[in-house]
Amino acid sequence: MAVTALVESLRRQGRDVIDLGAGEPDFPTPESIREAGIKAIRDGFTKYTPAAGLYELREAVCAKYHRDCNLEFQPQNVLITCGAKHAIANAILAVCEEGDEVIFSSPFWTSYLEQVKFSGASPVVIPTDEATGFKITPEQLLSVLSSRTKLLLLNSPANPTGSVYSEDELRSLAGVLQSHDCYVLYDEIYEKIIYDGCRHFNPATLPELEGRVLLVNGLSKAYSMTGWRIGFLTAPEDVIKQTIKIQSHTTSNPCSISQKAGIEALNLDDSVIADMVNSFDQRRRFTHEALTGIPGVACDLPAGAFYLFPSMSGYLGRRTKGKILTTPLELCSYLLDDAGIALVPGEAFDSLHNVRISYATSLGTLREAARRLSASLLKIHDWN
């Protein structure tokens, strides 16, 4: 969000900047969903709803989980929130307090760390890298579990790495957790944006984790609805009861109009998002090929989300015209200045080697971005 704000301010000054920082699909919200929102306004559906969200939308979330992974939930297991970010905050605040530990892997989505700290709990960060596809291994998990562990936070497909946990990997992690009494928060906001025939697996289906998985999901990414602010938390009823109290005293219900649009979204067939996912796949392959063709850039092809997370180590410690680039932030500043390209430096996700490239933009823009990126990076080669 900070990068997008910077891009806007540079554009106001007349700079030609390509924004590859955005964390949102560039497609419009599907039309029938927009129409449902318009109808809600026309019908005067513009007042408070129950704090936990509309019963009909909570039912639609249950139907979604039944349809997608044969999980049986009741509306009492569902909290509708103002985006997935809000669902994570409510869940963490409901189950964690000072003295507790929350485990998650690095690189991580920026808000996890801040939300854990906000609850008073201590973050326990497991470093990961390309060698394990940025995923936690069972051995790593075992080595950090303690009597204070309250929550394991998993994100698949992941932001910023695009990595996806397989069913086997999740089964292995669940095996480690079998004898530990803690919750698992599974952030599956990118579940529908997945490639190469990869299957999104839901760990709430595993008997070892029965009654302790907190599922975070929402409409922002799958239905290109980032501005509508609808997310949902699906969890054991006692946890949902606590989150309703928190939500009731902080934000009250999510926007009534967006909730009506959300019912329409969840009742749609996945075919409405198939074209978007196909376009992302094309762009993913194009951008990956262009990037890995640049000397000194190393990048695996991720199986989900809409980001590439290349290692730029080959360019750190190198001289430009004016200075030596030592961090991803300095490299991103150079690329913004020299090529007019905005990327998110790895520091935002706790990485000192990588940058995040969002390919949620047109192929034409990606082509021009690749050309400029390559020219600017090759200049660094020439100077060294």
Which residues bind to ligand PLP, rule: CB under 6 A? Answer: 23, 83-85, 109, 155, 159, 187, 189, 218, 220, 226, 231
In whole angstroms, give the CA distance from residue 56 to residue 64: 12
CB of 349 to ligand PLP, least distance (A): 10
Q: Which is nearer to ligand PLP, 36 or 153 (CB)?
A: 153
CB of 9 to ligand PLP, least distance (A): 21
Q: Which is nearer to ligand PLP, 83 or 340 (CB)?
A: 83
CB-nearest residue to ligand PLP = 83
The total of other beta-carbon atoms located within 10 Å of residue 199's CB is 8
Q: Which residues pair with 18 in a beta bridge?
A: 341
Are 224 and 25 contacting, i.e. CB atoms less than 8 angstroms apart?
yes
Nearest alpha carbon to residue 107 among 345, 373, 284, 361: 345
Q: Which is nearer to ligand PLP, 54 or 297 (CB)?
A: 54
CB of 188 to ligand PLP, least distance (A): 9
CB of 113 to ligand PLP, least distance (A): 13
Strands (E), 188-261: 213-218, 231-234
Q: Which is nearer to ligand PLP, 86 or 318 (CB)?
A: 86
Q: Which is nearer to ligand PLP, 79 or 339 (CB)?
A: 79
Identify the residue whose tokens are 């990048």: 299
Q: Which is nearer to ligand PLP, 37 or 231 (CB)?
A: 231
Residue 331, SS3 per DSSP? helix
Q: Which is nearer to ligand PLP, 84 or 206 (CB)?
A: 84
CB of 52 to ligand PLP, least distance (A): 17
Question: Which stretches within 50-194 are classed as H helix?
Answer: 55-69, 84-95, 110-119, 138-144, 167-177
- Integer-rounded Cα Rg, in Å, for the chain is 21
Helices 256-267 and 55-69, axial angle in degrees (round to 10): 30
In whole angstroms, give the CA distance from residue 246 to residue 289: 46
CB of 44 to ligand PLP, least distance (A): 27
CB of 109 to ligand PLP, least distance (A): 4
Residue 369 neighbours by CB under 8 Å, 6+ apart: 18, 20, 341, 361
